[in-house]
Amino acid sequence: MMRQKSSVPSENRGSALWKSILQHRYLYFMLLPCIAFFIVFSYIPMGGLLLAFKEYKFNKGILGSPWVGFDYFKTFFNSYQSGQLIKNTLIISAMKLFLYLPFPIILALMFNEVRSKWFKNVSQSVMYLPHFLSWVVVVGLLQRVLAPDNGLLNQLISGMGGDGGTYFMMEPKYFYQIMFGSHLWKSIGWDSIIYMAAISGVNPDMYEAAKIDGAGKLREVWSITLPSITPTIVILFILSLGNILSAGFDQLYLLRTPGNMQLSDILDTYIIRVGLQSGQYGYATAVGMMQGLIGLVLVIVANRISRKVSDTSLW
């Protein structure tokens, strides 16, 4: 005999849903500002992506402007600048994604081992503070520290008998060190918070069992802490892949100088230059849309691979 499937009527499911919403109505009210934020600032602006396929005319608006199809995309990839722009963006994004990844994890592990409460609070506050400084302030400090002759670093070099006239901000060979060092200093403290939260959720009984077995601190970190927070690391890594072609406009725009332009000019700065400064709104929209689509594809692919390999995924 065939077994008949027992299904809940759609009316009952709808009634249960509304009951659940009413029961947790205050949580849904707290969620409304977040939903409104994304609708206003993320979903509604998507209508502007039509500019990527139109030659924008001020007197006709977006909908009335003539269609140009994929001409802007062809123009970008045929441009002599496209290869260098994509290369610079990928190098800087890879440094911020792969090279930077272990640092906030290590910092969170270090904070977790601090037993003095006041020292932990003070050190955490010091590490979080740079996050709240704008890149304008951070780059201004860098310019003071790295200035030739009277900069702090050059004064130290000259005090030790070296040449104190190096203009570090103009030298291409120092660009990646300056870029990565400033990003690390500004972001490491804030990014370690979510890893600290994940570490705090590890079952303390596991550490007690490891101590009984004679495991030291390094063995506990390697065999218990890191495997326990691996899902968090994977999720954050997948989310970060969406910005692989967005290397950070604020920092790079302010760090650009005529000396390091060949390394610091990325897609984000190029979009601003051709869009706002040159008035090529459709062309700039097409390049920005390409960034978003590639990021979306990478997130989907990485999520699928992660789900098959480790059973950890966004959806």
What CA–CA distance (Å, rounded) separates 310 from 315?
Answer: 13
What CA–CA distance (Å, rounded) separates 283 from 65?
Answer: 14
Kindly report the CATH number assigned to the domain that includes residue 274: 1.10.3720.10
Would residue 43 count as lying in a domain? no
Would residue 266 count as lying in a domain? yes
What is the domain range of residue 191? 69-310
pTM: 0.84
pLDDT for residue 4 is more than 50: no
Distances (CA, A) of 151 to 143, 167, 214, 219, 282: 8, 9, 52, 44, 43
What CA–CA distance (Å, rounded) separates 305 from 241?
Answer: 13
pLDDT for residue 280 is more than 60: yes
Domain count, the chain: 1
- Which residues have CB under 8 Å from 268's CB, separation 6+? 89, 246, 247, 248, 249, 252, 253
Would residue 148 count as lying in a domain? yes
Would residue 23 count as lying in a domain? no
- What is the per-residue pLDDT for 34? 92
What confidence tens digit (pLDDT) does each residue in 200-254 have? Answer: 888 888 888 888 888 888 888 888 899 999 999 999 888 888 888 888 889 999 9
Query: Residue 237: exposed, middle, or buried by beta-carbon count in 10 A (0-12, 13-18, 19+)?
Result: middle
Would residue 15 count as lying in a domain? no
What confidence tens digit (pLDDT) does each residue in 42-101 have? Answer: 899 888 899 999 988 888 888 888 999 999 999 999 988 899 999 999 999 999 999 999
- What is the per-residue pLDDT for 2? 40
Would residue 11 count as lying in a domain? no
What confidence tens digit (pLDDT) does each residue in 91-147 have? Answer: 999 999 999 999 999 999 999 888 888 898 899 899 999 999 999 999 999 999 998
Would residue 51 count as lying in a domain? no
Structure tokens at 134: 């704008």
- What is the per-residue pLDDT for 135? 94
Would residue 196 count as lying in a domain? yes
H or E element that contains 238: helix 226-241
209 vs 6, more confident? 209
State which of 18-27, 57-66, 191-200 shows the largest mean pLDDT: 191-200
What CA–CA distance (Å, rounded) separates 147 from 306?
Answer: 46
Q: Which residue has the tokens 């897609």?
A: 267
- Which residues have CB under 8 Å from 96's CB, separation 6+? 180, 183, 247, 248
- What is the per-residue pLDDT for 1? 40
Helices (H) and strands (E) counted in the chain, each on its own, are 17, 0
What CA–CA distance (Å, rounded) separates 28 from 7?
Answer: 28
What confidence tens digit (pLDDT) does each residue in 35-48 have? Answer: 999 999 989 988 88
